[in-house]
Amino acid sequence: AVTARSARLAARWMAAGFVHGVLNTDNMNITGESFDYGPYRFLPRNDPNFVAAYFDQNGLYSFGRQPEAVYWNLQTLGGALSATTETEPLVEALNSFPEVYRGELRAALMRRLGLKSKGLDHDTGLVNAAFQALSDGGPRLRWEPFFYDWFCGDEGRAMAGPRADIYAGAAFANFRLLVGRTDPDRPERLDNPYFQSPEPQELLIDEIEAIWDAIAANDDWGPFHAKLAAIETARTAYALD
């Protein structure tokens, strides 16, 4: 159960473009939750080597290595539990992590894209194409706007937006093809006024620091509360629990 919950947590980090920053064992819980988000970041764009903590000079907890770090933490927990129980079931549980993680990542990415599952092979191909397109999109293609533009697989909306020239490139051909073969999940969500804006809500470090500066310098909590309200608007539009 701990392995499955941790795999789900890591997969949702990756889908969100979230970098925890300090994935020490004492920052994870057997409930499948994590804490101590001091140096966290959200990705500006797809970069497996992106690090959040200034002291992580070797990229131990970089974005792309987060599943590896979680797996190592589980192995450490298993080592501790081996003092009180047989090793074989612990090893069996640990060995389930890669497959469970891959399944959770597929589900998380399909959910982010607002698309219905079409089976293992198709979903895997689409997720791989999405990551490849994000890598090939160049510095202008930020993480959050990609999922915003392609939500519910609406190619017409994506191709009418500010990043249309990127999506028209050859690097996106396979992604566009696979999206076109996939059914949207609750496409009526696109009717929400939130999706009429050319840009989505993001939470990159520059904005976070600007919000904090207003508080630190003038005890001005206005930008903080405004951001919370904007995030709630986005949550409502996506119809997230």
What percent of the chain is modeled with pLDDT above 70? 100
Among candidate residues 67, 65, 89, the one with its CA nearest the CA of residue 78? 89
Evaluate whether 126 touches 178 at the Cβ level (below 8 Å): yes
Task: Over range 106-132, report the average pLDDT.
Answer: 96
Spatial neighbors of 210 by CB under 8 A, at least 6 apart, are 223
Among candidate residues 206, 187, 200, the one with its CA nearest the CA of residue 233? 200
pLDDT-based confidence at residue 147 (cuts at 50, 70, 90): very high
Cα dist from 143 to 34, 137, 216, whole Å: 22, 10, 29
> Which residues are the active-site residues?
26
At 21, is the secondary structure helix, strand, or coil? coil
pLDDT at 184 over 80: yes
Sign of the four-CA dihedral 198, 12, 64, 41: positive
**pLDDT confidence of residue 97:** 98
pLDDT at 240 over 90: no
Q: Using alpha carbons only, what angle is made at residue 195 by residues 222 and 174, rounded to the nearest 5 degrees?
A: 125
Task: Over range 69-86, report the average pLDDT.
Answer: 96
* Residue 237: CA count within 13 A, CB half-sphere: 20
Alpha carbons 132 and 175: distance in angstroms, whole number:
9
Question: Where do the structural domains in the chain lie, given as residue ranges?
Answer: 2-103, 114-195, 205-238
Which run of H or E residues covers position 226? helix 222-238
**pLDDT confidence of residue 68:** 97
* Stated pTM of the model: 0.93
**pLDDT confidence of residue 38:** 76
Q: How buried is 176 (Cβ within 10 angstroms: 0-12 exposed, 13-18 middle, 19+ buried)?
A: middle
pLDDT at 56 over 80: yes
